[in-house]
Amino acid sequence: MIASERYETILNLIQEHGIVKVKDLAKLMQVTETTIRRDCEELEHQGKLIRVHGGAKGINQNKIVSNRDEKNVRDRTEFSESKELVCKKAASFVKEGDCIFLDGITTVVPMVKYLKDKNIKIVTHNFLVAEAYQNLSCQAELFYLGGKYIPEYNMSAGPVTIGNLSRFNFDYAFLGCAGVDLEKGMSYTTETETMMVKEKAMEQSMNNYLLIDSSKLSVKGFYNFSKLSDFDAIICNEFEGMDGVELPDNFIVVPTNEA
C-alpha cells in the first residue's frame, strides 16, 4: 500500500472511530509502526489530524469535551481491552471484607467479574454495574443508590443519590473521568450532577483510585473534577510513547502482558 492510500485509510478510520492506535493501523495495513508514525506526522503537518499517545485523533476532537461528546466516546470505547486491564488491576487491591464504591463510568463495569467471588460490599449508582452483577453468581453484596435516573449515562444522580451516598463509608472508591491533563495535573468531567456524586464518594472513602484508559490522556472536560494529586492511585493501561511522558508519582501503568 502506497503512502497516499495509507493516508486515506487513516483519515477514514479516524472519521469513523474518532481515535485510532498506531499498532492497530500497522497491523491492518501490514506495515511497521514506524511507518504509521511517519504517516501520522505528515498528516499532522498537513493539518488533517492530531497525534496523541499511541495514536491519532481528528482535528475537530481537540476541544473541550461536553456531556454529549463524552456519551459518544463512551459508546465507541465501551469495555475495551484496555479497560479490562485497568479493572483487573484495580480489583486486585480489594481485600475480603472491604466496602467499595464503583463510579458511574463504563470503565469500572468489568471490575464486577473480578470481584464477584470476594466477600465484600459494593455500592454504586451505575446501572451497568448492577446489570453485570445480576448476570453473575456473586458472593459480593451490592447496594444500588437511588435518585434521578440519567438514561444517557445509565446511572442515577442528584440530591437523593447524594443523600443515600452520605450514609456509606468506603475502604476504596474507584472513580473515572472524562479526561486527564498531565501537565496541569487535573482531571475533568462533563456535567455537575455526576461530578457531585464523585466528590461525595471521595469524601466518604479512605482510598480514592482514578481509573482511566490512555484515550483519556490530554482530553479536557467542561468542569475541573479533581487534582491528580488528590488520588491515592491513578491506574492506566500501558501506552505507546509513555517513556517520554512525565507521569505523577501515584500513576500505576498496567502492562499489556498482564491481560
Per-residue pLDDT tens digits for 99-127: 999 999 888 999 999 999 999 999 999 99
The whole-number pLDDT of residue 65 equals 56
CATH class of 67-258: alpha beta
- Give dist(CA 149, CA 41) in Å, integer: 44
Residues contacting 95, CB < 8 A, separation 6+: 118, 120, 171
User: What backbone phi and psi angles, to 5 degrees, belong to 50?
Assistant: -125, 125
Same fold, 3-61 and 67-258: no
Tens digits of residue pLDDT in 192-226: 888 999 999 999 999 999 999 888 887 877 789 99
- Give dist(CA 219, CA 74) in Å, integer: 14
Query: Which residue's entry shows cell 500513576?
Result: 251
pTM above 0.85, yes or no: no
Tens digits of residue pLDDT in 10-55: 998 887 667 788 888 999 999 999 999 999 999 988 888 888 777 8
Among 1.10.1740.10, 1.10.10.10, 1.50.10.10, 3.30.830.10, name the CATH number for the domain at 3-61. 1.10.10.10
- Give dist(CA 186, CA 182) in Å, integer: 7
Ordered by start, the domain boundaries in the chain are 3-61, 67-258
- Give dist(CA 102, CA 127) in Å, integer: 11
The whole-number pLDDT of residue 60 equals 57
Residues linked to residue 254 through DSSP beta bridges, in sequence order: 237
User: What backbone phi and psi angles, to 5 degrees, belong to 197?
Assistant: -65, -45
